[in-house]
Amino acid sequence: MKRSTKKKLSAIDFFCGAGGMSYGLQLAKIKVIAGIDNNPECKDTYEKNINAEFILKDIRELSPKELQKITGIKKNDDNLIFVGCSPCQYWTQINTDKNKSFKSKNLLLDFQRFVAEFNPGYIIIENVPGILKRKNESGIEKFINFLKKKGFKVAKDIINTSRYGVPQKRKRFLLIASRLNKNIAIPKPEEGKIPCAIDFIGVQNGFTKLRAGQTDLNDRLHRAAHLSEKNIERLKKTKKNGGDRLSWKDDPTLQINAYKGKDHHFKDTYGRMFWKKPAPTITTKFISISNGRFGHPEENRGLSLREGACLQTFPRDFEFVGTSMTSIASQIGNAVPPEFAKRIGETINNK
């Protein structure tokens, strides 16, 4: 059975955050009806950039009837896509506080309530690989079986977004399901050259040089976090273009006690990015050099908010709103890269 061509595809973006998935789907000519998220700090960002309703609500407290009233969606709509990129902190392999994310670990099952009620034509799930590696605990296996029983064809894989136009070593679990198209598949990865940091940031891409703690007055999102004098000294001694903390491990004034004798433990911490390699995964902590290889390739500072957003493939004119640098960095790091989302949308649109 083929999807009806009389009506344009439309989507509801559950757990939409700042709107990376919504923005990418719009680039793929898919109408986004609404984004749903319980984080009020994402509301202004979403509404400034996405032509869609923002529903400030925890989906555990949202009823299908209420969603229908707000959005006007109907059951069994062949042209409707439900996107469920639920918060991934609990399932990530990155060292995070799992106690904080425990309540959100089974939001996939709450998302399933809406799929069961409305039976849309398509489903998109994007998350960390850990959701599949711990499939029994995460609920993804039950969710996939649920979809299959409802007649959905399910395509799933672990992919690296560097093969999908995103300059990051960002591995993700991707699921695309359709009850209409039995040939639904994961987008094909690109072969050959992969995008690198040098293609997106740096003076060659119009970025003004900054010092730690400085803001570009022409783009207030191009703002780097303050660093202590000691951390600035560490970066000065760190080799440009991919250097790491081993550059100063023998300097007793700079070496960190926790790393003494542990040269290969968390080696990327305090390191600089490489120009001609994909960036590391842009996390919610990317503005801090103590949380990964987030040092600028040659300037003595961490990444700016705008640089992180560009490495996530947000356009330069995308407006982020937040109460602090940390708030905006969280919005950026939690987002689905728009270029990746666009390719997912195009895959569905072309089927």
Residues with catalytic function: 88
- The total of other beta-carbon atoms located within 10 Å of residue 83's CB is 28
- Cβ proximity of 161 and 323 under 8 Å: no
Q: Which of 98, 88, 75 is nearest to 130 (CA)?
A: 88
Dist CA 278 CA 275 (whole Å): 8
Residues facing residue 123 across a β-bridge: 82, 177
> What SS3 state is found at 161?
helix
Q: How far apart are CA 168 and CA 194, in angstroms?
A: 9
| Residues 303/27, Cβ–Cβ less than 8 Å | no
Q: Which residues contact 99 (CB under 8 A, 6 or more apart)?
A: none
**Amino acid present at 236:** K
d(CA 316, CA 158): 29
3-state SS, residue 244: coil
Contact 21, 85 (CB under 8 A): yes
One DSSP character per residue, 172-220 reads EEEEEEESS-TT--PPPPPPS----GGGTSSGGGTPPP--TT-EETTEE
Q: What angle do CA 243, 249, 251 make, to 5 degrees?
A: 120
Grouping H, G, I as helix, E, B as strand and the rest as coil, residue 11 is: strand
Q: How far apart (Å, rounded) are the C-alpha atoms in residues 96 and 83?
A: 25
